[in-house]
Structure 1
């Protein structure tokens, strides 16, 4: 006969040594999560599959979900081994506590910490343009690779946090003039950034979907294939470095689909100004000399290089 679960009020809140243990699963479970449609940029609900391990410890029911079946099988095996070894069970982490590991366990390295350290090591060898691209793309990755229960940031907070990442965290040499707000953002990312070893191919797939279809503030956009490929290469470089240094055992990018091919004439919003932006720059140049206004407009609207535009002036 199956053990009836006790009321949650009876569940201990501190580790104890159980006398009874049952485990079953993993069970495949599909739940809906919010994601961004790559084509339309709209927020839609999308099914996501997890594999749940269900178990009872002295009659108390627990469940632990994993994104891959192999991880769930390994977790169930470790639960059985922990009970057989007589280890204490921690109701907060929902796992058996290895007494030896508990003495030496250190906090997991977060993606935020690794991205910062990776940029600091690579910075001296990068060209200025590469540095700017790396700051932008790694900052966006830090904002996307977060725990599921991380507090949602408003568009304004996302812009402020992005500015902190580029000016303070992802800068070499490190900034000296940090403020209290900078320290608060530092603590926020240390708290909510995903551990590097916990980042999966699904996390990275969702990251690329967000990059292609939404701007930093969440507004819809369609990013060119070239820009998406560049972002992918920058963030993938951080994981390749982690794999070489044995910080991770497997590169999750191996499970991420390749970038879809798009029309060659598609505008890259990171590299090409909009008509409004061209007019704004032309007006600023026109304040110096009215001829510069026309010169900039000719380049912008006729798609001419500076040398070609000079030839037109002649």
Structure 2
């Protein structure tokens, strides 16, 4: 746009036309005019132009309007902007991120409305926004009637995006991000993730000319302390307990024997379940004796067919927080080497080289291996322990692996590298396990100091 600060506003003149009151003004070298039905409307527009000129606003030479009025004309509702933001992010986001984006927008959008009259049930609203409004793959489909009514309501009731210049409205939106659908406080990590998405959506609004600045940095609002990010040691099985759990998996017939090495990869290699789902034989170095090696390079998280480009339930992506071509080598002990060698001999591999598969050759499902794990807990854990948080999820085997490495004296930097963490995340998440190593650390320091003898008092 061509902007100018040279503005002249002339007197209103009356002419014998349908809109008789004409306001004329000039921006730069270009003249503009606008006609109104009443003198009051013409005077109101004249006052807007004069106020903007005195405030030092730039005027658009083409339209003749000051920047503030031009922004109002180009403004769109928050609901429209949120959909445009989702559409912009969609092609470059993996399926799990698409779900997270939709969840964040579905959380904040219900509070950015003119009023709540006729909004509808909260769960129906969340389902309509999450599953349809902010899922690009479904935009060409017709939603169920109850969802159509919800989406039409938001099209009418959503506040303009420019309203987010009001910091109190932004605070209200940020507060909404802290609550789950049942009204309880969400996990700190969830709040931070949604807040980051909301922040990015407002940056996009600035880029689109809908806001002059991102208001979030100017809002006095603090994120909850991430205290729950530390791993609770009561969830993590000791090596003996982990071995008993794996034996209980193996004892569940053909299904258990097929999955025991799957759980073994999580425990002995600290692999994420989604990394094991797509593990191929060519990714494994399995010598007859000694330690082997896994070359982890792909993640197959289950996001649901509605969110993937392929239409398959599992997405295909690189390692978490790594480039698509990144590879994480993880040395594995002889125990896991033996389990994987036996698995290949007994079950073979899928046509694409995958070690683990369903009876029909598909990717193993969380529901399937979760059922096997639940039965293993009931059999392997002491009476009453199955009702606790001990090894509640297969993912707790990964925590057990990392805590075992740390308690064995392995340097945190090496533990972080093998687990696919940053060192900062390792210290924050596994702080309690690191803290329990004081006695061993003191012994090492004493041994080192003893090498030079004891100084005289």
TM-score by length of 1: 0.53
Equivalent residue, structure 1, for 2:169: 203
Equivalent residue, structure 2, for 1:110: 77
Out of 218, 223, 235, the residue aligned to residue 255 of structure 1 is 218
Matched, 1:167 2:131: yes
Contact 1:161-1:185 at 8 Å conserved across structures: yes
CA distance in structure 1 between the partners assigned to 2:197 and 2:153 by the alignment? 23
Counterparts of 1:146-165 in structure 2, within 5 Å, are 146-147=113-114, 149-151=115-117, 153=119, 157-165=121-129
CA distance in structure 2 between the partners assigned to 1:141 and 1:115 by the alignment? 10
Contact 1:299-1:306 at 8 Å conserved across structures: no
Contact 2:79-2:109 at 8 Å conserved across structures: yes
Equivalent residue, structure 1, for 2:102: 135
SS at match of 1:140: helix
Larger Rg: 2
CA distance in structure 2 between the partners assigned to 1:118 and 1:210 by the alignment? 19
Equivalent residue, structure 2, for 1:290: 375
Deviation per CA, 1:196-229: give whole Å up to 9, x if none. Answer: 11122211111222332x4324x3x233333222
CA distance in structure 2 between the partners assigned to 1:238 and 1:107 by the alignment? 17
The change in CA–CA distance for 1:226 and 1:107 in structure 2 (over 3 A counts) is: same
CA distance in structure 1 between the partners assigned to 2:206 and 2:77 by the alignment? 14
CA distance in structure 1 between the partners assigned to 2:77 and 2:202 by the alignment? 12
Superposition RMSD in Å: 4.4
The change in CA–CA distance for 1:180 and 1:243 in structure 2 (over 3 A counts) is: same
Deviation per CA, 1:62-101: give whole Å up to 9, x if none. Answer: xxxxxxxxxxxxx99639869xxxxxxxxxxxxxxxxx99
The change in CA–CA distance for 1:288 and 1:229 in structure 2 (over 3 A counts) is: closer
Q: CA deviation at 1:18?
A: 4.3
Higher relative contact order (CA 8 A, sep 6+): 1
CA distance in structure 2 between the partners assigned to 1:162 and 1:260 by the alignment? 23
Contact 2:79-2:154 at 8 Å conserved across structures: yes
Contact 1:208-1:232 at 8 Å conserved across structures: yes
The change in CA–CA distance for 1:16 and 1:267 in structure 2 (over 3 A counts) is: farther
The change in CA–CA distance for 1:115 and 1:215 in structure 2 (over 3 A counts) is: same
CA distance in structure 2 between the partners assigned to 1:162 and 1:106 by the alignment? 30
CA distance in structure 2 between the partners assigned to 1:294 and 1:76 by the alignment? 82
Out of 386, 389, 393, the residue aligned to residue 301 of structure 1 is 389
Which 5+ residue runs of structure 2 have no aligned equivalent?
1-36, 53-64, 236-365, 402-457
Q: CA deviation at 1:298?
A: 5.8
Q: CA deviation at 1:126?
A: 1.2
Deviation per CA, 1:128-155: give whole Å up to 9, x if none. Answer: 22211111111111111111x331646x
CA distance in structure 2 between the partners assigned to 1:106 and 1:114 by the alignment? 15
Matched, 1:216 2:181: yes
Counterparts of 1:72-111 in structure 2, within 5 Å, are 78=48, 108-111=75-78
TM-score by length of 2: 0.38
CA distance in structure 2 between the partners assigned to 1:81 and 1:308 by the alignment? 63
Contact 2:104-2:197 at 8 Å conserved across structures: yes
SS at match of 1:142: helix
Out of 157, 160, 163, the residue aligned to residue 192 of structure 1 is 157
